[in-house]
Amino acid sequence: MSARLRPPREADFSSPLRDDRVTARVGLWLGIAFLVAFLTGVFSHYGQDTPGWFTYPTGPVSLYRITQGIHVLAGTAAVPLLLVKLWSVYPKLFARLPWPPSRAGLVNGLERASVAVLVSSAIFQLVTGLQNMTHWYPWGFSFRSGHYAVAWVAIGSILVHVAVKLPIIRDALALPIDAATPMPVAERDINARVADPALSRRALLRTTWAAAGLAVLATAGQSVSWLRDVSIFGVRSGDGPQGVPVNRSSVEAGVTKTALDPGWRLTLVNGSVKRQLTRAELEAMPQHTRSLPIACVEGWSAGATWTGVLMADLAALVDAPGDSELFISSLDLNGTFGTSTLPPQFTANSNTLLALKVNGETLDIEHGYPCRVIAPARPGVLQTKWVTSLEVVA
Ligand SMILES: Nc1nc2c(c(=O)[nH]1)N[C@H]1C(S)=C(S)[C@@H](COP(=O)(O)O)O[C@H]1N2
Ligand SMILES: [Mo]
């Protein structure tokens, strides 16, 4: 290299590890991770913001626990994969655009612009996802709408990228990883220059898979209990009261007094029919016990045994059909999670309870005392705690 200071050029990067064979193999798994995260993410979004054409399923009861666990694990695995992939191609940033402008130059410029969109949307998704897992919201926009909107940008730019690169990807995947053969693709003969690298391409790939696997193991314990001890990234894998982690506490929700107030009543409303019940009256109704997980959008989940009354029984008290849609309000007034809507198929489902107990004990205030919603297969954010009223939606 010359002694004179100048910006690097693509040819200055001579590691034979930066090779289409590495990029394509890591890219393949990165693409799979993003596709899995996209599909499970859209499902999660529809679970919370259900479009009219979609009926959210009431089972299997662990559905959301599985899809959202996979969503977060796919995103976690993508972090080391994206880092290695970016490292393998970043010298291309210093490749010169053909000058004077030509058709080829224009195509090249467009392709680089699409890669810029791809890289920035991918980084945005992984960073905001990790921030949500740790409850760190340094930005002003809503996490869910931002993460959802950019998901479409990311998946779209991945599709464009794969389409543009398909011939290179095919050739690169077909070539043995460690063979010295230079790539048949014209501009990629840099790797032939360095004869004896410190690390083989195979070893680099193995290290990459190991890093992705380790990241997954270190996170999975937030949903898989026997992995808990090795899960240093499982943010909320520790036990909360009654063996269930707590998302938003009673202090954060501002309900420490109202939830324990002996004057608390559950209000049931069906048009002009109205009824109020004390907790003792709820306890006097037929009680049902169900094993259902709480599965947070952040990826953690925990199974528990809940005891309480059937939603359909409550609807009947105000002369409403057992498959009524219910609007649920809680004492928690200063957040967006203080209300939720229970669709008809959940009110009618005998796994959906207004729970009074968890794991055999009276609900802790942190888990929603005096009573909370627990429905099968749904995102945790809809399992409203500190319930104060159920209104039949006309
Ligand atoms: N009223 C109210 N209910 C709520 C919340 C809340 O902030 N306020 N958080 C929800 C979220 S995001 C989750 S994951 C579950 C967690 O329930 P837990 O704290 O009992 O584990 O409660 C849900 N119910
Ligand atoms: Mo949650």
pLDDT digits (tens, 9 = 90+) for 90-99: 998 888 877 7
Contact 321, 248 (CB under 8 A): no
Kindly state the average pLDDT of the residues 229-243. Answer: 70
pLDDT for the residue 14: 85
For a substitution probing ligand 1, which of 258, 332, 362, 385 has the most ligand atoms within 8 Å of its CB? 385
Q: Would you say residue 212 has pLDDT above 80? A: yes
Residue in the structure block whose two tokens are 């928690």: 332
Q: What is the pTM of this model?
A: 0.92
Q: Would you say residue 185 has pLDDT above 50? A: no
Say what angle helices 20-48 and 63-89 make with each other, to 10 degrees.
150
Q: How confident is the model at residue 76 (pLDDT cuts 50, 70, 90)?
A: very high
pLDDT for the residue 233: 65
Q: Would you say residue 81 has pLDDT above 90? A: yes
Element housing 42 (H / E):
helix 20-48
Q: Dihedral sign, CA of 370, 375, 377, 378?
A: negative
Class of residue 160 by CB neighbours under 10 A (exposed 0-12, middle 13-18, buried 19+): middle
Pick from 41, 247, 49, 34: which is nearest to 147 by CA?
41
Which of 336 and 53 is assigned the larger pLDDT? 53
> What does the alpha-carbon distance between residue 375 and residue 347 come to, in Å, rounded to a whole number?
9
pLDDT for the residue 5: 85
- Cross-strand pairs, 330: 387
Q: Would you say residue 58 has pLDDT above 80? A: yes
> What does the alpha-carbon distance between residue 219 and residue 233 come to, in Å, rounded to a whole number?
5
Count of alpha carbons within 13 angstroms of residue 302, beta-carbon side: 21
Contact 252, 373 (CB under 8 A): no
Of the ranges 196-205, 221-230, 355-364, which is most confident?
Answer: 355-364
Q: Would you say residue 196 has pLDDT above 60? A: no
pLDDT for the residue 190: 47
Region for residue 38 given its phi and psi (left: phi exceeds 0; alpha: psi -120 to 50; beta: otherwise): alpha
Query: How far is the centre of ligand 2, averaged over its atoms, from the C-alpha of 300 (Å)?
Result: 8
Answer yes or no: is the C-beta of 155 below 6 A from any ligand 1 atom. no
Q: Would you say residue 50 has pLDDT above 70? A: yes
Same fold, 10-227 and 250-392: no
Answer yes or no: is the C-beta of 381 below 6 A from any ligand 1 atom. yes
Count of alpha carbons within 13 angstroms of residue 36, beta-carbon side: 19
Pick from 189, 304, 197: which is nearest to 245 by CA?
304
* CATH number for region 10-227: 1.20.950
pLDDT for the residue 259: 98
pLDDT for the residue 193: 47
* Domain locations along the chain: 10-227, 250-392
Pick from 380, 286, 291, 393: which is nearest to 347 by CA?
393
pLDDT for the residue 224: 76
Which of 361 and 3 is assigned the larger pLDDT? 361
Residue 309 phi/psi, 5° resolution? -105, 155
Kindly state the average pLDDT of the residues 172-178. Answer: 93
Kindly state the average pLDDT of the residues 23-48. Answer: 98
Q: Would you say residue 321 has pLDDT above 90? A: yes
Answer yes or no: is the C-beta of 324 below 6 A from any ligand 1 atom. no
Query: How far is the centre of ligand 2, averaged over its atoms, from the C-alpha of 130 (Å)?
Result: 14
Kindly state the average pLDDT of the residues 69-78. Answer: 96
Nearest CA to ligand 1 atom 5: 337
Answer yes or no: is the C-beta of 253 below 6 A from any ligand 1 atom. yes
Residue 112 phi/psi, 5° resolution? -65, -40
Kindly state the average pLDDT of the residues 206-229. Answer: 86
Kindly state the average pLDDT of the residues 56-60. Answer: 98
Ligand 1 atom closest to Cα of 338?
1
* Per-residue model confidence as pLDDT tens digits over 267-292: 999 999 999 999 999 999 999 999 99
Class of residue 141 by CB neighbours under 10 A (exposed 0-12, middle 13-18, buried 19+): exposed
Match domain 250-392 to its CATH number in 3.90.1300.10, 3.90.1010.10, 1.10.10.10, 3.90.420.10. 3.90.420.10
Question: What is each CA distance from 135 to 199, 230, 240, 243, in whole angstroms?
Answer: 39, 21, 17, 21
Question: What is each CA distance from 153 to 46, 83, 124, in whole angstroms?
Answer: 18, 19, 11
Q: How confident is the model at residue 194 (pLDDT cuts 50, 70, 90)?
A: very low
Encoding tokens for residue 283?
A: 């306890």
Mean pLDDT, all residues of the chain: 91
Kindly state the average pLDDT of the residues 245-253. Answer: 92
pLDDT for the residue 3: 63
DSSP per-residue codes, 130-163: HHHHTT---SSS-HHHHHHHHHHHHHHHHHHHHH
Q: Would you say residue 184 has pLDDT above 50? A: no
